[in-house]
Structure 1
Amino acid sequence: MADPAGTPRALDASADPPLRALPPGVSELLREPAAPARLVAHLRLVHDVAAHLADWLAAYCPGLPFARDAVLFGAATHDVGKAVHTAELSGPGSAHEEAGRELLLARGFTAGQARFAATHADWAAPGVSVEELLVSTADKVWKGKRVPGLEDLLVARIAEAAGTEPWAVFLDLDELLGTIADGADRRLAFQGGFPV
């Protein structure tokens, strides 16, 4: 069960370096009903990492169109279904994926916004978007986890749009992801400061 006092604390807690504000509507979604504080902290962290990835991609490959706002919303809500399936906050499971999509739709968010809750773990599916690849990557690298198959898909999309050799994109993306992964201990400590 959620700790109603923990949710606002997790939403407002300062971090070093500071975390970006969640997209419009997301804080309210997490407050009512109160989401577990650990989940709120996790969503803030993944959202912040996704913002770094999106900013990098926009500068690195301006010829690759993607919806930055969709990436940020998707990262900020990708695990929202864990508010329903709280056992998945500390254990395995995928029931939160469809539950998150349904929760977002029931709260009036669009199918395009809700898709990230259902697709963030299915990055190898046919027709996956750049936005979905960025959310999936943020959901892994925030804790220092690197997933070569996922990163290869992102590299291929960037290389194609940039007209660049994949190995060159790989080197640049690898440097960025390595830098992000270097901050994993700090992010894990921040998340660990909130109860499940």
Structure 2
Amino acid sequence: MPSPILRRALTEPGLRPLPERAARLLEDLDAPPRLAAHLRAVHDVAAELVGWAREHHPGLAVDAEAVLFGAATHDIGKALHPAELSGPGAEHERAGHALLRERGVEERLARFARTHASWDEPGIGIDDLLVSLADAIWKGERLSELEQRLVEVLAAASGRAEWEEFMDLDDACDRIAAGADRRLAFQSAYPVAGGTESTA
């Protein structure tokens, strides 16, 4: 049974709720409340990015379900490596992917647990780039190389000049990053461990 604090992190108003399947996985794992809050923040941004992509690139083949589920579970491996919630580490990436696959999540949805930090590798597509971008700008972080890679993909798909795509994406990122303080406050309101409330 999930802790009451975890349940609150999954249901408190302020950010979009996670996809039901992702929320159930976190409950089954009795995941750290801060992890659930972080996943909601990144998922919320991913939903904004998917909406932006649909509006500005209606012909672009974005798998919205995959992007949203990927954002909602990209760090799920931190339930197994909780030290990586408050410190560096990449063990959660492989562990999260394995965990999702063991629980029957298809590769199309599970892959983001291992690709969200590998956006500069060959074969990374638009869906993976959107999850990686959401994982950066939820806290106001701008990664110029990641954004440039996305610009290149958008320009190739649209036939527009890269500078035009850059201007549109830059505006969207500025707008989304402006909400970083609110999302950071939401995340920090929840403890890393499930037993006590955070005073941060």
Range into which the TM-score falls when normalised by the shorter chain: over 0.9
Correspondence list, 1:34-45, <5 A: 34-45=30-41
Q: In the aligned structure 2, how far is the partner of 1:165 from the partner of 1:50?
A: 24
Cross-structure match for 2:107: 111
Aligned ranges 1:1-196 → 2 under 5 Å: 4-15=3-14, 19-196=15-192
State the Cα deviation string for residues 77-113 of structure 1 (Å, max 9, x = none).
Answer: 0000000000000000000000000110111101121
CA contact (8 A) 2:32 2:79 kept: yes
What number of residue pairs does the alignment pair up? Answer: 191
CA RMSD of aligned residues (A): 0.9
What's the offset of the Cα at 1:4?
A: 2.1
Preserved CA contact (<8 Å) 2:11 2:17: no
Q: Distance between the aligned counterparts of 1:80 and 1:33, measured in 2? A: 9
Q: 1:5 Cα shift?
A: 2.4
Post-superposition shift, 1:13? Answer: 1.1
Counterpart CA distance in 1 for 2:129 and 2:71 is 11
8 A Cα contact 2:37 2:190, kept in partner: yes
**Secondary structure of 1:32's match?**
helix
Q: What letter corresponds to residue 5 of structure 1 in structure 2?
A: P
Report what 2:198 is aligned to.
none
Please identify runs of 4+ aligned residues in structure 1 that moved more than 4 A: none
The answer to whether the Cα contact below 8 Å between 2:3 and 2:30 also exists between their aligned partners in 1 is yes
Alpha-carbon distance between aligned partners in 2 of 1:12 and 1:77, rounded to the nearest angstrom: 16
Unmatched 5+ stretches in structure 1: none
TM-score w.r.t. structure 2 length?
0.93
Return the letter of the residue paired with 2:42. V
Unpaired segments of 5 or more residues in structure 2? Answer: 193-200
